[in-house]
Amino acid sequence: MKKKIYHGRIFYGWYIVAAAFIIMAVGWGIVFNTASLFINPISEELGLSRKAINATFTIRSICQLVISLFSGLIYKKLKMKNLMKVTSLSLALSFFLHASVKNIGMLYFLTIIASSSMVLLGTLPLSIILNNWFQEGIGFVIGLAFMGSGLGGMILNSLAGKWIITYGWRVTYKILAAIIFVAIVPCVYFIIKIHPKEVGLAPLGEAKNMDTSEASKLDKEEDGMMLLEAMKTIGFWGICISLIFISISGLTLIQNISPHLQDMGYSVTFSANVVALSMGALAVGKLLLGYLLDRFGLRKATFIACLSILFGSIAIIYSKYYMALAVVIVGVGIGCSYYTVSNPVIARKMYGMKDYSSIYGFISATHSLGGIIAPILVGYLYDISGSYISSFKIMLIFTIISIVIFNFVLPKEKMQ
């Protein structure tokens, strides 16, 4: 019996990509990319300090870190599809309940529920699913799916900002909850399939003449390393250290564009427009970086991404010049795409699919650790110098360190 490769005229895996795009656009776009819009209105109505509400950003990063570290164990104990079904509902419910927040404790609790639900719906499971469906062009596929977070963030930021002004922040939370429910729940329940064999298909790129018994044999004989084996190698820790440094650099760049430009004398509106353009560039950058990973391999694509962050950090120091702002936008677009697009490719190409969820989760945790360190470090340096310039200069050093280490630990690959 021949195992089917295509379902009708379109390979079903592309429907999976579309569903992943929607989940990232709506879920990630709302949970992580619209959060800053609610700081001022919540602070004013509930009489809470900005510092107390800003702590929700740290909570989100901690949730990402903890869940990423234990993702291998989570997916071994629980069925991924069932977990995604539950978290799609808990995500929508948590946002609906945000409309009833009355104190900081309730805000923190709901932030934990929403962030944890999104992590268990987002890049962790989706990268595993996409790797199951595609044996070729995985960089492009992941870039295409994950670019949804950038586009969703850009569109939903604009809409949510208008809704907060028109209807208030409580009603806006309910609207966003409804959008999450209508867009994400059907994708999870009716479109997402964990593995192509669930619908009698083979992964795209697998030999078309392979019969079912051969395919089953391959499923069981996955090559690669276990996490504990990988952790015994110097290269693995070199990758993790480099990812921490480059994530601190990239996050420092993207998170402080608006306040730095305002410090430089630009208006709030102009600064917001630059951030919006950066979000759009980030969406395109994910697709481009995915192509570069497939085309040139890990080392060269990583070098291009790191250079983008390096030039972006230099350019923002000279942001009084409009041309420098263009370099910042491009630097953010390509460089800050690196974490979401490259981490699953690094895990697969260097360590295989044998213990993919554990290794990818551990690698992703390094990015989350960078997300915890970056705002603390930048805040400390800002308090000392009264400017973001010192932070950007130190990030140049971090980026160069990352480039050097990556050069030793990533494999040389010929153009595909």
Tokens of 150: 């950038």
Region of 128 (left: φ > 0; alpha: ψ -120 to 50; beta: rest) is alpha
pLDDT for position 379: 84
Residue 224 — left, alpha, or beta (φ > 0 → left; ψ -120 to 50 → alpha)?
Answer: left
Write the CA distances from 105 to 110, 244, 367, integer angstroms: 9, 30, 27
Structure tokens at 227: 């996490």
Cβ burial 287-309 (10 Å sphere, 16+ → b, else e): bbbbbbbbebbbbbbbbbbbebb
pLDDT at 307: 97
* Pair 118, 32: CB distance under 8 Å: yes
7 three-state secondary structure = coil
* CB proximity list for 222: less than 8 A, separation 6 or greater: 352, 353, 354
d(CA 166, CA 363): 42
- Give me the DSSP letters along 375-409: HHHHHHHHHHHSSSHHHHHHHHHHHHHHHHHHHHH
The C-alpha atoms of residue 177 and residue 189 are separated, in whole angstroms, by 17
8 A C-beta contact, residue 398 and residue 404: no
Domains 13-219 and 222-409 share a fold: yes
Which position has the token pair 């997916």? 75
Count Cα atoms within 13 angstroms, Cβ side, for 173: 21
pLDDT at 161 (0 to 100):
85
Q: State the burial class of residue 253 (Cβ atoms within 10 Å of its Cβ: 0-12, 13-18, 19+).
A: buried
| C-alpha–C-alpha distance, residues 64 and 362, integer Å | 11
Spatial distance between the Cα atoms of 240 and 246, rounded to a whole number of angstroms: 10
Cα separations (Å) of 19 from 129, 342, 347? 11, 20, 23
Domain 13-219 falls in which CATH fold? Growth Hormone; Chain: A; (1.20.1250)
Domain limits, the chain: 13-219, 222-409
**What is the reported pLDDT for 207?**
52
Tens digit of each residue's pLDDT, the chain (416 residues): 444 544 457 899 999 999 999 999 999 989 988 887 888 889 889 998 877 887 888 898 899 999 999 998 998 899 999 999 999 999 999 999 999 999 999 999 999 999 999 999 998 999 999 999 998 889 999 999 999 988 888 888 888 888 998 999 999 999 999 999 999 999 999 999 999 999 889 998 875 444 444 444 434 446 789 999 999 999 999 999 999 999 999 989 988 888 889 889 988 778 878 888 888 898 899 999 999 999 999 999 999 999 999 999 999 999 989 999 999 999 999 999 998 899 999 999 999 989 999 999 999 998 889 888 888 888 889 889 988 999 999 999 999 999 999 999 998 765 44
* The residue type at 71: S
Q: Are 27 and 188 in contact (CB under 8 A)?
A: no
Predicted confidence at residue 414, as pLDDT, reads 56
Pair 137, 205: CB distance under 8 Å: yes
Return the H-helix or E-strand segment holding 356: helix 356-385
CB 136 within 8 A of CB 353: no
How wide is the angle at C-alpha 397 spanned by C-alphas 395 and 398, nearest 5°? 60
Homologous superfamily in CATH for domain 222-409: MFS general substrate transporter like domains (1.20.1250.20)
Output the pLDDT for position 2: 45
The CA distances from residue 149 to 145, 283, 291, in Å, are 9, 7, 18
What's the pLDDT at 211?
Answer: 46
Q: Are 214 and 17 in contact (CB under 8 A)?
A: no
In which residue are the tokens 């990988």 written? Answer: 230
Q: What pLDDT is attached to residue 43?
A: 87
CA 357/CA 341 separation, integer angstroms: 15
Which residues on neighbouring strands pair with residue 2, listed in sequence order? Answer: 211
User: Rg of the chain over CA atoms, in angstroms?
Assistant: 21
- Residue at 411: amino acid letter: P
Q: How far is CA 35 from CA 48, 115, 173, 268, 284, in A?
A: 16, 11, 11, 18, 22
